Amino acid sequence: MIRILLADDEHLIRGAIAALLGLEDDLEVVGQAATGAEALRLARALRPDVALLDLQLPDLDGVTVATTLHAELPTCRTMIVTSHGLPGHLKRALTGGVRGFLAKTVSAEVLATVVRTVHAGGRYVDPQLAAEAISAGDSPLTVREADVLTLAAEGAPVDEIARRAALSPGTVRNYLSSAVGKTGAANRHEAARIARTRGWI
């Protein structure tokens, strides 16, 4: 029997997936969490075989939970299931020790199969997401450029970004300018949009 921990902030979805997985003879959902913190707590208490995490959780995101789990409970395999698959998340997830990464567009049978694969020590990444990740490539942004662009994405003016990043306004403009160049955008807002769709920020 494979013991599964499920984390998803949407009650309906969580319950529905649990019901579906419960129909399989060899799978058992032993815990359900609505937040990242709760997922960690339950994982420590229940020591499931596989943790099935949604990418977007109210507090921590799924990849962060997975990374922590991977460090604390090496015997617990982690999988990410997501609605919006951004290439950057996939890369972060894989470096964080995640062994399965799928979109919610897959069928329940596929999900169950992947749970078994992952439990057996295998890996599985949604082919379409993998293709997107490869075609999007690595982020050309330096750490600082990404930082600044993240703040810029909220629509804040340069002065505020400068304050929040503890940089001089001029430096912020330099980074933004560089980021705009690297993304091929016309201005920082478009750059932020592009970087986000590519998962670079």
DSSP-derived letter for residue 26 is T
Residue from 1, 12, 120, 143 in contact with a second copy (CB under 8 A): 12
Select from a second copy, DNA, none the partner in contact with residue 91, using the beta carbon and a kind-dependent cut-off of 5 to 8 Å: none
Q: Angle of helix 158-165 relative to helix 143-152, nearest 10 degrees?
A: 130
- C-beta of residue 157 within 8 angstroms of C-beta of residue 148: no
Residue 26 vs 72, nearer CB to a second copy: 26
Residue 78 vs 178, nearer CB to DNA: 178
Select from DNA, a second copy, none the partner in contact with residue 168, using the beta carbon and a kind-dependent cut-off of 5 to 8 Å: DNA
- Give the footprint of a second copy on residues 28-67 (CB under 8 A): none
The one-letter amino acid code at 153 reads: A
Residue from 4, 145, 195, 200 in contact with DNA (CB under 7 A): 145
- Which tokens go with 17? 């997936």
Question: If binding means CB under 8 A, how many residues of this protein chain bind a second copy?
Answer: 33
DSSP H or E run through 171: helix 169-183
Told to check if 58 binds DNA by CB under 7 A, we report: no
Told to check if 106 binds a second copy by CB under 8 A, we report: yes
CA dist 163 and 95 (Å) reads 32
Residues 6 or more apart whose Cβ sits within 8 Å of residue 201: 88, 141, 146, 149, 150, 153, 192, 195
> How far lies 95's CA from each of 75, 89, 90, 153, in Å?
17, 10, 9, 25
Residue from 10, 109, 154, 159 in contact with DNA (CB under 7 A): 159
Residue 1 vs 12, nearer CB to a second copy: 12
Residue 67 vs 178, nearer CB to DNA: 178
Residues that bind DNA (CB under 7 A): 142-145, 157-159, 167-168, 170-171, 173-174, 176-177, 180-181, 187-189
